[in-house]
Structures are given as structure tokens and as C-alpha cells.
Amino acid sequence: MSQTGNPNPSNSKVAIVTGASRGIGRGCALELARRGFKVVVCARTLHDGQAFEHSSTVKASKTTPLPGSLDKTVSEIEALGGKALAVKLDLLDRQDVHALVERTMAAWGRIDVLVNNARYIGPGHMDWFVDTPIELFDAHFQCNVLSPLLLIKLAVPIMIGQGGGVIINITSGAGYRETPHDIGKGGWGLGYSLSKAAFNRIAAGLAKELRQHQIAVINLEPGFVTTERMVTDMGAFGFDASRGLGVDVPGSVCAYLAAHPTPMNFSGRDIDAPTFAVDAGLVDGTKMPPPYGPSHWGVPARTVL
């Protein structure tokens, strides 16, 4: 869906994208590479077919491997003529967060853009509240709030030393408003919406603190996007992947903001990716599915999801 435009190459600049083995993170990483960024891609899935064991006081389970891996994303970036570095990142392991920044600096010596996209994926994320152990809320907040905050805290001094930077947080409408749908029938677990609400507040809170250092902090709301997980896993929970946007929609907006000559103009703002992508001419809006495409243009915005 992406349209060709001025790539605004940033050949010396480095972007980190979390959760980049597939989905929105992969879309952001590819679009950043197209604009000339060196991209550090990080996630738990390093290799195709990799599965994960979850064993804790919460639940014990084993994930089904999904399509996508850091290996594949790196190959796609290199096929575009770009440069990529794959780093393993588990947001439940704070040592991984520190190691990510250390490896980025050792390899390329700078961090210009940080895209916080990864979130908690594991057992119980779509359970009813009465069936959810309190420890699962700990996991949601660690992955969706505290680890991104730690990554920001480690990246900010580097950005200050460079004279500025851009932090883009991939938010969710679930953190702003509630759905009328039941859990498992198009609705989501409370741990997700609570932690995303906290995550969504980061940009507004940090933008005013970091403006003196020319560091923009931006919320990017991706819309309903068709990802590998949406296709493979979420149909059983009432989500229709056929109605979603391509990952290039949030990806193109992410890269546009990252490469913008005056990103501070967007700092502290909530950017709606589907609307912005059409307004900026980044995608062909006439090909967007409902409720984003022409069939809903001019219709008042919905008050609930």
C-alpha cells in the first residue's frame, strides 16, 4: 500500500525497533530502512519456527511458532540495500534491555530513534479478570510499561549527547477507550488495556521534560492492523484479521515522523496512523478497508471500539 516518495535518507542515523520479528514492528523496521536508517531489530524470535516455554507462578504453556523472525526481517532490510542488527530482547528480562543498548552502541555508536512496539505476549493475556492471577498484571506492566521506560531512560542520555532524538511509542486504542465486546469475543483482557493506558501516558508526560533537549516523544496509534498473530491466533478470540490494515500503514507513518526535519512539532501528540498516512500521502487511502477507507469518510468518529 506504500507509495513511492522522497526517502529522505538518514544514512548515519540509527533506529531501534522492539518487537520487530513480525507485525507492526517489522513494518516500522522496513519503512525506516527505506528512509536510510540503520535499524536494530529486536524481539524474542531470532529464528524461524522458534517457540517459547512459559513456566511461572502464573501459568505454564508453550507458544505455537508464528511466521516471522529477526532473521527474516534482517534479510528483508538487507534486500532493500539497508543495514540491520538483530538483538534478542525479552521485555521480562531487564538485562536484555541493558544489553540491547550496549550492543547498539558497540555496533553503531549512536541511537537517533527508539520505537517502543513490543508488548506482553504470553499465557492469560485474553482471560477474564476473575481467572487472571495478579502476577499476570505484573507481567503486563513489566513488558508494556516498565521495560519501555527503562529503554527510554537508557537511550535519553545518548540522545542528549547527540543533540536530540525521536521516541515513538506504538500505542493502542484499548488504552484510551473500552470495547463493548466480551473477553474472547472481540474484547481484550484487562491487563492489556490497563497497561496500555499507562503506556499511552508516557509521551504526554515526557514530552515537556525532554523538549529542552530536542527529544520528541510521540504516540502512534496504529489502528486495527492485520499481523501474523492476528491471522494465526486472534480469530479464536473474535478478531477478524481480514478487516485490518497492512503493516505498511503504521510503518510508513513511523518512518515519516522519524525522518521529519522538525519532529518536535509532533512531540507529546497522539498521531492516528490511518488518518495521518492518507493526509500525508504516504498510502493510497482509496484502498483502505472499512472503517478507514472511503466508505467511512465523512462519518462521525465512533465513541466505542
| Interatomic CA distance for residues 68 and 47, integer angstroms | 8
Residue 301: what pLDDT? Answer: 67
Residue 289: what pLDDT? Answer: 83
Residue 55: what pLDDT? Answer: 41
| Interatomic CA distance for residues 293 and 159, integer angstroms | 38
Q: What is the DSSP string of 179-240?
A: -SSPBTTTB--HHHHHHHHHHHHHHHHHHHHHGGGTEEEEEEE--SB--HHHHHTGGGGT--
The answer to whether position 227 is within a domain reads: yes
Q: Which of 1-15, 27-41, 71-85, 176-190 has the weakest average pLDDT?
A: 1-15
Residue 57: what pLDDT? Answer: 45
Q: What's the whole-number mean pLDDT along residues 102-123? A: 93
Residue 54: what pLDDT? Answer: 47
Q: Which of 128-132, 173-177, 199-203 has the weakest average pLDDT?
A: 173-177
Of 171, 169, 153, 170, the C-alpha closest to 111 is 153
Summarised one tens digit per residue, pLDDT across range 41-58 is: 999 989 876 665 544 445
The answer to whether position 172 is within a domain reads: yes
| Interatomic CA distance for residues 279 and 301, integer angstroms | 17
Domain count across the chain: 1
Range of the domain at 154: 14-296
Percent of the chain with pLDDT over 90: 60
Of 233, 242, 265, 283, the C-alpha closest to 166 is 265
Distances (CA, A) of 22 to 26, 36, 113, 228: 5, 20, 19, 7
Residue 63: what pLDDT? Answer: 58
Q: What's the whole-number mean pLDDT along residues 51-67? A: 55
The answer to whether position 4 is within a domain reads: no
Residue 133 belongs to a domain with what CATH number?
3.40.50.720
Q: What's the whole-number mean pLDDT along residues 22-29? A: 94
What is the chain's mean pLDDT, rounded? 85
The answer to whether position 303 is within a domain reads: no
Residue 220: what pLDDT? Answer: 96
Neighbours of 237 (CB within 10 A): 17
Q: Is 8 left (phi over 0), alpha (psi -120 to 50) or beta?
A: left
Which pLDDT band holds residue 1 (cuts at 50, 70, 90)? very low
Summarised one tens digit per residue, pLDDT across range 203-257 is: 999 999 999 999 999 999 998 787 655 545 555 554 555 677 888 999 999 999 9
The answer to whether position 76 is within a domain reads: yes
| Interatomic CA distance for residues 236 and 185, integer angstroms | 8
Enter the pTM of the model: 0.87
The answer to whether position 5 is within a domain reads: no
The answer to whether position 9 is within a domain reads: no
The answer to whether position 1 is within a domain reads: no
